[in-house]
Amino acid sequence: MGRAFLVARREYLAYITAWGFWVGLLITPVALSLGMFLPSLIENSQPVRYYSVIESGDSFARELDGYMGERDEDIARDLISQQANFDPTFDPDAALAEFERQLAEGRSTAEALESVVPMGSMALSDDDYIRVPPPARTLEELRPYLSGDLEIDGPIGPRPLYAVFVLDGDDIVYWSEDVVNDTLVNRANLVLERLARIRTFEAENVPLEILDRVRENTPLLLVRSPTAVDQSGEVSFADQAPFFISIGFSFLLWLLIFSVVNYLLTGTIEERSNKIFDSLLTSVSLPQLLTGKLVGVLMLSLTLISIWALIGTGMLIAAGDNIPPDIAEGLRQVVSPNLLVPTLISFLLGYLMFGSIFLALGSLCDTIQEAQSLLSPVIIVMMIPLLLLPVSISNPESPILHAATWVPLLTPFLVIVRVPTEPPLWELIAQIVWMGVFTALIIWAATKVYRAGAVHGAGMNEARAWFMGLFGKKAQA
């Protein structure tokens, strides 16, 4: 064991003192944060775009303007309702009443919101689509504006015309060079639906106020769960947290395993290409060498986890009492043994499984380039859990997810995301045992390959010949 420890120590020190490890350690949380906030960043960083409406009157344009305003008002009302989650002293009913009063006095949505929720206007949509008078009436004349050859003057200076709605009788045509972004089209559809409803009500002599009353009388759908944390059964973040946290754990596990097993690959390639194996093998046995390498890099990943956990804990302590109660309750799920124990077992077995595979592959290769060709099938398998994670969000009880959890190479990642669905205990235990058995098989096979590579100098040609042999073919020299 002492020799395995020495190998582990050398491996650990070799990587922990490398600047690349620390860069990776710090970049990963930054990259993850960016990944989380990127969609809203992209949304908020869209350029302001001009659009025009060409119609005989102005009913469609007016409704479209009104919709934009109402949309902001709805966002503001939602924000006020949810504010109590972040500030237990906040009275949402009083704040909503004040907001409505200010709107009725003619103040803008942003001003009314700011008066009850400071900084709240930041949540409102940017005025990213501005309606401007059409610079021409025919498509031929509009074409240079739409293609950007000519610009149109507007509230924030000259810009190309992003889109134009042309209403001709009952037909409405949307013209734009952008054939991908359908935000404006969706808004227009909602407005058209409302216009159609108004016209229908008018045609049937139904007062339009009925529409507002229909909206006011629409009952609120309350979501309840018998397993909710709240006694009343009301579903809160605390109930959804295990799902989000398990998916987060699964993704982190994936990220962690594939960050560190690369060290095993490159380290073994270095030993092979530098001809160190023979010197090592007169001092340590092959199992000791393998154990030492696996343990050394395992220690490295535990260091990584510890530092990330410390950063996370530090941030939580800094946030202190500002964390809303149901979010705090949800975060407590992180340390729930129901989730933590399967996660730790999955991490250990997943690491050993993929680590052994990477060690074995490294022992057959003299260069990283050689390793790339052997790694391709492994990387494809590695990507499958990532593809299945969205399924686990939308449908955690999916039969596909259920079946995939029994595929040993995927089990470490998928068994975690199934924990919140509370599968039968026997199933969970069976999957973990199966994962353990398969890991043992992989380690056994990897040791054989490692011996072939390290002791007998087997390389790419032998690997190719073996692979071709599976299909009963002889490898080309």
Partner 1 sequence: MAAPPLRFESVTKRFSDFDAVKDVSFQLGAGEVIGFLGPNGAGKSTSLRMALGIMSPDEGAAELFGGPPTLSNLRRVGFLPEERGLYKKMSARNVIAYFGQLKGMKRSDALSRADELLESFGLGEFRKTRISRLSKGMAQKVQILSTFVHSPEFLILDEPFSGLDPVNQADLERLIADQNAKGTTILFSTHVMEHAERLCDRLVLIACGRKMFDGTLKEAFATQAHQVRLATVADRDLSADFVDTPFDTRALPPVEGEDDRIWWEISLPQGATSQDVLKRAIDRGIAIEGFEPAEPRLRDVFVSLVSEADEKYGALRHG
- Return the number of the residue (108 or 266) whose C-beta is nearest partner 1: 266
Counting Cα atoms < 13 Å in the Cβ hemisphere of 379 gives 8
- For partner 1, the binding residue among 43, 70, 270, 397 (CB under 8 A) is 270
- Return the number of the residue (18 or 468) whose C-beta is nearest partner 1: 18
Least distance (Å) from partner 1 to the CB of residue 279? 6
Least distance (Å) from partner 1 to the CB of residue 414? 37
* DSSP-assigned beta bridge partners for residue 165: 53, 174
**Which of 10-18, 114-122, 191-199, 414-422 is the region at the interface with partner 1 (rule: CB under 8 A)?**
10-18
- Return the number of the residue (271 or 326) whose C-beta is nearest partner 1: 271
Least distance (Å) from partner 1 to the CB of residue 366? 12
Query: Rounded distance, CA 397 to CA 418, Å?
Result: 8
Query: Rounded distance, CA 452 to CA 268, Å?
Result: 13
- For partner 1, the binding residue among 206, 316, 455, 475 (CB under 8 A) is 455
Task: Scan residues 365-394 and list those touching partner 1 (CB under 8 A).
Answer: none
167's enclosing H/E stretch is: strand 161-168
Per this entry, what is the length of the chain?
477
Least distance (Å) from partner 1 to the CB of residue 258? 23
Establish if 14 lies at the interface with partner 1 (CB under 8 A): yes
Establish if 196 lies at the interface with partner 1 (CB under 8 A): no
**Which of 2-10, 150-158, 319-327, 354-362 is the region at the interface with partner 1 (rule: CB under 8 A)?**
2-10
Establish if 10 lies at the interface with partner 1 (CB under 8 A): yes
- Which residues are CB-contacts of 256 (< 8 A; sequence separation ≥ 6)? 301, 304, 305, 347, 351
Establish if 235 lies at the interface with partner 1 (CB under 8 A): no
Query: Rounded distance, CA 366 to CA 350, Å?
Result: 26
Establish if 198 lies at the interface with partner 1 (CB under 8 A): no
Is the C-alpha dihedral spanning 346, 348, 351, 356 positive or negative?
A: negative
- For partner 1, the binding residue among 28, 259, 273, 421 (CB under 8 A) is 273
Least distance (Å) from partner 1 to the CB of residue 10? 6
Establish if 274 lies at the interface with partner 1 (CB under 8 A): yes
Calculate ∠ Cα 173-174-175, nearest 5°.
115
- Return the number of the residue (2 or 39) whose C-beta is nearest partner 1: 2
- Return the number of the residue (33 or 279) whose C-beta is nearest partner 1: 279
Establish if 395 lies at the interface with partner 1 (CB under 8 A): no
Q: Taking Cα atoms as reference points, which of 275, 296, 268, 260 lies closest to residue 3? A: 296
Query: Rounded distance, CA 81 to CA 220, Å?
Result: 13
Query: Tokens in use for 438?
Result: 């398969």
Q: Taking Cα atoms as reference points, which of 262, 258, 259, 281 lies closest to residue 270? A: 262
Establish if 71 lies at the interface with partner 1 (CB under 8 A): no
Phi, psi of 455 (to 5 degrees): -90, -45
- For partner 1, the binding residue among 94, 276, 379, 433 (CB under 8 A) is 276
Establish if 3 lies at the interface with partner 1 (CB under 8 A): yes
Using the structure block, give the residue that is written with the tokens 């972040």. 86
- For partner 1, the binding residue among 6, 150, 391, 465 (CB under 8 A) is 6
9 close to 298: Cβ distance less than 8 angstroms: no
CA distances from 224 to 75, 80, 220, 243 (A): 23, 22, 12, 16
Establish if 456 lies at the interface with partner 1 (CB under 8 A): yes
Task: Scan residues 278-307 and list those touching partner 1 (CB under 8 A).
Answer: 278-285
Residues at the contact surface with partner 1, assessed by CB under 8 A? 3, 6-7, 10, 14, 18, 270, 273-276, 278-285, 455-456
